[in-house]
Amino acid sequence: MYSAMFRFWSRLSSKEEGQGLVEYALIIALIAILVIVAFPGLSDALKGIFQNITTEVGGTATGG
């Protein structure tokens, strides 16, 4: 995985200079922040969905 990330950054740095690389870094940072903010809500929603599926199948939903 790390080698793939290294190759990705190597390709970016060879094609883009300075400003372009900074723009890519800002976009990646913004996406990371959005994922971190959205994760707790998604976690609760997914937990509810799987609990409903388990209840419909006839099992008991456990977890915490």
10 domain-assigned: no
Examine residue 52 and state whether it is found in any structural domain, yes or no.
Answer: yes
pLDDT of residue 45: 84
pTM greater than the 0.85 cutoff: no
Give residue 27's pLDDT.
Answer: 92
Does 6 fall in a domain?
Answer: no
> What is the Cα–Cα distance from 9 to 1, expressed in whole angstroms?
13
Domain, as residue range, for 20: 16-56
Give tens-digit pLDDT for 3-58: 777 777 777 665 556 678 888 889 999 998 888 887 877 788 888 888 998 888 88
What's the pLDDT at 4? 76
In the three-class reduction of DSSP (H, G, I as helix; E, B as strand; rest coil), residue 58 is classed as coil
